[in-house]
Chain A
Amino acid sequence: MSIITAASTWIIPCIILTVLLVATWLKLPTYEIFVEGGKEGIKMAVSLLPFLLGMMVSISIFRGSGAMEAMINFMSPFLSTIGVPSEIVPLAMIRPISGTAALGMTTELIKTYGPDSFIGRLASTMQGSTDTTLYILTVYFGAVGIRRMGDALKVGLIADFIGIIASIVIVTIVFGA
């Protein structure tokens, strides 16, 4: 554990060190280039705002009204029949939609069932092995102004589904049910 923690605290400073050493060695005007590049960040964050706001508001209406819970309850039996444990169904369904909600659910599952239980391990694996598809699409497409997303969402969601199944199979094989 200590090696992992040490690695993650060292890595960013080391990246900065390498970049600045090489750039200074090449006699580049480092500070001016940094400022020039950084300026773009402000514009990006601002152009991102409406995309994020729109998506987050819609998700929160869906969640706040209780409709999301109803949908999860409705879908639970279907997912249970293909082997998804019913405790994990809400997390599996929320993971691609909302990162904060998923993290909250993972914490709740770990707290309730214990981190070393089957559900705890499965929730941990699921949380770590996929990302919030809807958020990533919103941010990346939003920031550069892509209006027609093509197959991106479909492919992302299919991959998420495969990821859920993969997590269950792997955790069952590695730790036993």
Chain B
Amino acid sequence: MVNLIWAFMAIIGIVYAMFNGTMEEVNQALFESADDAVTLSIGLISVLVFWLGLMRVAEKAGLLRLLSKLFKPIVTRLFPEIPKDHPAMGYILSNFTANLFGLGNAATPMGIKAMEQMKELSGSDKASRSMITFLVINTSSLTLIPSTVIAIRMQYDSIAPTEIVSTTIMATVITSIAAITVDRLFYYRRVSKAKK
């Protein structure tokens, strides 16, 4: 599906440009975005190195295990496939925590690390059940304080820049619950298909 979406966005774009005379814009966008992607990836090195280094220390100090112990009842239910004391749990929780506090650049390295651990568990290049659950929770965003949005609202002289915090949290909670539910439904569909 990703292959299709990826190819179709480019194909439709180019064909559209053929008939609408926007080929120049396409050329420009093409190389600008390639440039941006390199800047973004290289820019990620700083946060990746820092957080992965610090998280390794936290892991060795037993702090990740402590974190997963604290939230055991919730996470074991969300990720039934992952053994209780597996390091993946610690990284999943660190990722969730970082997301909750709006530390986006800390959340990414921990999320990748969690994925790596889950891949070791499944030992295949196919997304496992836990991976899909984990990603879907991430895409529904777990922010408590949408700091970027608040900053923009302040910039445009909002009377109450933080008034959207409550609606954002409510929307986030509903989206997350919906994501988990839809994920479960798809999982059961996969299971019943496999049985047939």
Contacts and interface: CB of A to CB of B under 8 A. Distances in A.
B179 interface: yes
Interface string A157-169: 0111011001100
B34 A34 contact: no
B86 interface: no
Contacts of A8: 101-102, 145, 147
Contact of A42 (B32, B49, B54): B49
Main secondary structure of the interface of B (DSSP, over half): helix
Contact of B125 (A40, A106, A128, A148): A148
Nearest to B176: A159
A115 B141 contact: no
A45 interface: yes
Contacts of B166: 174
A75 interface: no
Given A58-B10, A67-B13, A153 B34 contact: no
Nearest to B20: A66
B70 interface: no
B60 A23 contact: yes
Interface string A33-62: 111111111101110110011111111111
B16 A65 contact: yes
B167 A170 contact: yes
A4 to B, nearest CB: 6
B167 A167 contact: yes
B36 A56 contact: yes
Nearest to A107: B152
Given A60-B32, A124-B164, A170 B57 contact: no
Nearest to A70: B16
A30 B183 CA distance: 39
Given A37-B53, A58-B6, A66-B22, A103 B167 contact: no
Contacts of A89: none
B30 interface: yes
Contacts of B168: 124-125, 128-129
8 contacts: A33-B57, A37-B52, A39-B49, A60-B33, A65-B12, A130-B141, A137-B135, A155-B136
